[in-house]
Each structure stands twice: as C-alpha cells, then as structure tokens.
Structure 1
Amino acid sequence: MSRLVELDATGPRKLDESDLDPEKGDIAVCQCGLSEEFPFCDGSHSCTETEDADTCYRYVEDEMSQQLQTVVRIVYEDGTTEAID
C-alpha cells in the first residue's frame, strides 16, 4: 500500500529529552503521515489496517471525519500525469 500525504514543514524536527512522554517514556515517530500530532504518533495508523497492499490511498478530512479515497493517477501542474499501479 502507499499513501499520499500532504506536509507543510520545510525542515526536520529534532527530538530531544523534552519530547519524551512522561507517562509512556518513549518517543513514537509517525510513519503513516496521518497523525494529528505529527511528527509524533497518535495512533491514527489504526485506520490503515484495511488498506490493500496494491492500492495507493489519500485521506481527505472534512468537517466531520477523514474520508479514504483511492488514487488512480496524479496530474501535475504542467499537465503530465502519472498512473498509480
């Protein structure tokens, strides 16, 4: 499976001891791109459990929830397209 993720950061986030969770004692870094606390994991990856391994997805938020959409192709600004297999 793959996933299109929109990010707006322009640089890395450096983690230090202040990032430790006092209750959990660990730092969990998001790898799915869906966390509301990005770059930290908030458990949002649980919604990816039903994703098919051969499909590309995009999660789109509206006022009420996150909607899962299947990505078939990407259209770039210059008009070129890329099919997602």
Structure 2
Amino acid sequence: MAREVTHEERGPAVLDDDDKGDDGLIYVCQCGLSDTKPLCDGSHNATADEADGVVYKYPDDDPEAERREIDEIVYADE
C-alpha cells in the first residue's frame, strides 16, 4: 500500500517537550494524513484496510474522505 499526499511545508518542524504525549514520547505522522503534521493525530487508522501493492489518494488528504485507487504516484519533476 502507498498513498499520494500533498505536502506544502518548506522547512523543518522543530519539536520540543510540549510535543510529548502523556507517555513522554513524540509520535511523528508517517501516513501523511494528520491534521497536526508533523505530529500524529491518529488519522492512520483510516489506512488500516489498505491493500498491499495498491496506491491510494484521499481527496484533500482527508482521512474521512472516500479514498480512491490510483495507477501510480506522479512526481512533479517527471
């Protein structure tokens, strides 16, 4: 499984102690769907049933939107 995600940030995010959860850990989003990037907000739960080998697009990177399968991820420099 893979998904196409739009990223608009142009620089790094600085994390500090305020970003730690109740367990003292910092959870960084890896699914690309979090509204609190770079921090995880649990949006990855929407990806739990994605099939291996399939590329998905969530409209507006919204985990609650109906995802669709796409043929491939197209990179801007291609």
What TM-score comes out, normalization by structure 2 length?
0.79
Larger Rg: 1
The whole-number CA distance in structure 1 between the counterparts of 2:52 and 2:33 is 17
Tell me the SS of whatever aligns to 2:69: strand
Trace 1:12-51 onto structure 2 (pairs within 5 A): 12-21=12-21, 23-51=22-50
Bigger helix share: 2
Structure number with higher relative contact order (C-alpha < 8 Å, ≥ 6 residues apart): 2
Identity, % of aligned positions: 41
Runs of 5+ unmatched residues, structure 1: 81-85
1:12-64 deviation digits (Å, cap 9, x = unpaired): 1121222223x342210000000111111011101101101110001114xxx
Structure 2 residues not aligned, in runs of 5+: none
Correspondence for 1:83: none
Q: Quote the Cα distance in structure 1 between the aligned partners of 2:40 and 2:69.
A: 23
**What's the secondary structure of 2:44's corresponding residue?**
helix
Question: What's the CA shift for 1:75?
Answer: 6.2
Counterparts in 2 of 1:24 and 1:52: CA distance versus 1, 3 Å? same
Matched length: 74
- What does residue 52 of structure 2 align with? 53
From the superposition, tell whether residues 40 and 75 of structure 1 become closer, same or farther in structure 2 (CA, over 3 Å): closer
Kindly state the Cα deviation for residue 9 of structure 1 after the two structures are TM-superposed: 0.1
